[in-house]
Amino acid sequence: MTKRERILGAIVGTMAVLFVVGLGAWKFTDALSFRNSQIAALQNEINGDRDVTVRGTRAADDLAEFANSALPQNESDASHMYRTWLLAQLESLGFDKTNLESNQSQKVGDAYVMYQFRASGHGDLEQVTELMYRIEAADILHRVRGFSVTPILDTRLLDFTITTQVVSLDNSLERRLADVSQEKLNGPVLKAYKEKVLGRNLFGPENKPPRLKMPRTIEVSTGERVSITAEADDPDELDSVRYDADLSEVDGAQFNGRELSWSPKSAGEYNVTFNADDNGFPSKRDSQEVRIVVSEPAPPPKREEPPKPAAPGLEKALFAEITAITGSGGRRKIWVSIKSEGRTVRVGEGESFQVGDVDATVVTINNRDAEVVSADKVYRVELGQQLVEASIVRDLTKDGAE
C-alpha cells in the first residue's frame, strides 16, 4: 500500500469513527430530552396537586373563619339571634317608628342558608350613618342588599329602609352576636366615616353656626358666687345647641351643661372659654372668652356710734329750788330742797349735786344767787327760785368752739 493509500484510509477511518460517535451522541441527547420532558411533566403534576392542596387548605380556613361569623345551623335560632341583634342596634341609636320584617329563609345547596331582613324607621343623617357603620363593622357574615332614604319635610329626619342578608353554616357554633365594641365606635374609622358623609349635608342647605351672646367681662369680689349662663342664637330653626366650657383657669368651678358656678378665692383675672355647638351637618361651633376680674372686697364701712343723748340741764331738775344761802366769803353754801325726794342738800362752790338724772356743779355763790354748771351750760339761779326756771348765762360748747 502506497503512502497516499494509507493517508486516505486513515481519513476514511476517522470519519467513520466520528460518524459513529455523533450518532451515539444524538441518540443520548434525544433520550435525555425525553427524560427531562418526563420529569417536567411529573413536576407539573406534583405542582398541580400542591395547588389543589393549598386551595383546599385555604378553602377550609375560609370556611372555618366564616363559621365563626355565620349564624348557627338551626333556622329558628339563627333568625331570632339576628333579629334580636338588629333590633338592639335600632333601639340604642334612638330611631323612631322602627319596623323590622324578615323574609322566608333560602337554602342554597348544601352549603348555607340565607336569611333576609328589612328594617325601617325615622332618624337623622348621623344616626343612619352610624347604623351603616355598625353593620359593616360587626363580626357577622351579612351584607347590605338594599338601602334607601327619603327626607321628611320640615324636619331633620330621614325615612330610611335597609335590607340585609345574613348566612348560616352547618359548622357554625352557637354564640351570642356581640355589639360593635366601644373602642371601634369611639375610634378614628367611624369619625372619618361621619366626616365624609355628614360633611356633605346631602339633604339640607348649608349649616350656619350659632352665635354666643355673653358678657365680655364680669367683675366680682373674692368669696362672691359667680353664675354665668351660656346662651346662643342659631339662625337654623331646626338646629339645637349644646354648650361646654373650658374651666382650666377657674379651679373649683362647675358647669352643668348650661350654667357656670364659681366662688373665687383669690383676686386676679381669669378667662373662661364657652363653646356652642349645633347639631347641623356638619356641626358648626362658636366660641367666646369671658374675662372674670376678681378683686378683694371693699372694707366694711366704719360703724358710726350714735350720738350720745345730751345730758339733761337744770330745766329737767323738777321740784327743786334754792331755799337758802348761808356762810360768807369762799365758805358759802346753797341749800337745795329736792321735794320729789324729800331731802335738802347743802353744796359749796366746786361741789356737785344731783336732782334725778340731772348732774350739777356749783361754780359761784353770791349773796342772792348762784351760778351752777349742768350739761355744759352755766345757769344763774336766784334765791327762792326753782332750778327749772334758771336762766342760761352761757353755753360752754360754743365758747370752746370760738
Indicate if 215 and 191 belong to the same structural domain.
Answer: no
Block residue for cell numbers 362752790:
349
Indicate if 320 and 354 belong to the same structural domain.
Answer: yes
Q: Residue 260: inside a domain, yes or no?
A: yes
From 130, 164, 198, the end of a domain falls on 198
| Distance in angstroms (rounded) separating the CA atoms of residues 160 and 158 | 6
> Cβ distance 158 to 152 under 8 Å?
yes
pLDDT tens figures, 201-225? 777 778 889 999 999 999 999 989 9
Q: How far is CA 229 from CA 240, 259, 261, 288, 363, in A?
A: 16, 4, 9, 13, 75
Task: Read off the DSSP letter of residue 386.
Answer: B
Indicate if 79 and 191 belong to the same structural domain.
Answer: yes
Burial group, residue 385, by CB count within 10 angstroms (0-12, 13-18, 19+): middle
| Distance in angstroms (rounded) separating the CA atoms of residues 47 and 354 | 141
Q: Residue 284: inside a domain, yes or no?
A: yes
Residue bearing the bigger pLDDT, 191 or 28: 191
Q: Residue 300: inside a domain, yes or no?
A: no
Indicate if 119 and 170 belong to the same structural domain.
Answer: yes
Q: φ, ψ for residue 145 (rounded to 5)?
A: -95, -30
| Distance in angstroms (rounded) separating the CA atoms of residues 172 and 30 | 58
Helix/strand/coil for 400:
helix
What pLDDT, on a 0 to 100 scale, did the predictor assign at position 39?
57
What pLDDT, on a 0 to 100 scale, did the predictor assign at position 401?
43
Residues sharing a CB contact under 8 Å with residue 64, sequence separation 6 or more, in sequence order: 171
> Cβ distance 304 to 283 under 8 Å?
no
Q: Which three cell numbers stand for residue 102?
A: 324578615
CA dihedral sign, ordered 93, 98, 104, 106:
negative
Residue 273, domain CATH:
2.60.40.10
| Distance in angstroms (rounded) separating the CA atoms of residues 320 and 336 | 7
Q: Residue 383: inside a domain, yes or no?
A: yes
Task: Band the pLDDT of 402: cuts 50, 70, 90.
Answer: very low
Indicate if 243 and 284 belong to the same structural domain.
Answer: yes
Indicate if 274 and 368 belong to the same structural domain.
Answer: no
What pLDDT, on a 0 to 100 scale, did the predictor assign at position 219?
92
Indicate if 91 and 128 belong to the same structural domain.
Answer: yes
From 295, 325, 344, the end of a domain falls on 295
What pLDDT, on a 0 to 100 scale, did the predictor assign at position 21?
45
Neighbours of 300 (CB within 10 A): 6
Indicate if 105 and 150 belong to the same structural domain.
Answer: yes
- The DSSP string of 218-268 is EEEETT--EEEE--EE-SSTT--EEEEEE-TTSTT-EE-SSEEEE---S-E
Task: Band the pLDDT of 232: cuts 50, 70, 90.
Answer: very high
pTM: 0.51
Total domain count, the chain:
3
Residue bearing the bigger pLDDT, 86 or 181: 86
Indicate if 194 and 215 belong to the same structural domain.
Answer: no
User: Residue 137 sits in which domain range?
Assistant: 75-198
- pLDDT of 259 > 90? The answer is yes
Indicate if 177 and 227 belong to the same structural domain.
Answer: no
Block residue for cell numbers 348560616:
168
- pLDDT of 119 > 90? The answer is yes
pLDDT tens figures, 363-393? 888 888 989 888 888 899 888 888 888 888 8
Residues 275-287 have a mean pLDDT of: 90
Q: Residue 277: inside a domain, yes or no?
A: yes
| Distance in angstroms (rounded) separating the CA atoms of residues 244 and 288 | 11
Residue 184, domain CATH:
3.30.70.60
Task: Band the pLDDT of 309: cuts 50, 70, 90.
Answer: low
Residues 55-83 have a mean pLDDT of: 72
Task: Read off the DSSP letter of residue 138.
Answer: S
Q: Which three cell numbers stand for residue 321?
A: 329750788
Indicate if 187 and 114 belong to the same structural domain.
Answer: yes
From 198, 225, 247, the end of a domain falls on 198
Indicate if 90 and 131 belong to the same structural domain.
Answer: yes
Residue bearing the bigger pLDDT, 171 or 256: 256
Q: Residue 61: inside a domain, yes or no?
A: no
Burial group, residue 174, by CB count within 10 angstroms (0-12, 13-18, 19+): exposed
Task: Read off the DSSP letter of residue 82.
Answer: H
Name the residue among 293, 298, 247, 251 with its Cα closest to residue 273.
247
Task: Band the pLDDT of 109: cuts 50, 70, 90.
Answer: confident
pLDDT tens figures, 9-30? 555 555 654 444 454 445 545 5
Share of the chain above pLDDT 70, in %: 79
pLDDT tens figures, 330-356? 688 888 888 888 888 898 888 998 888
What pLDDT, on a 0 to 100 scale, did the predictor assign at position 54?
52
Q: Residue 4: inside a domain, yes or no?
A: no
Residues sharing a CB contact under 8 Å with residue 337, sequence separation 6 or more, in sequence order: 320, 321, 322, 323, 344
Q: Residue 230: inside a domain, yes or no?
A: yes
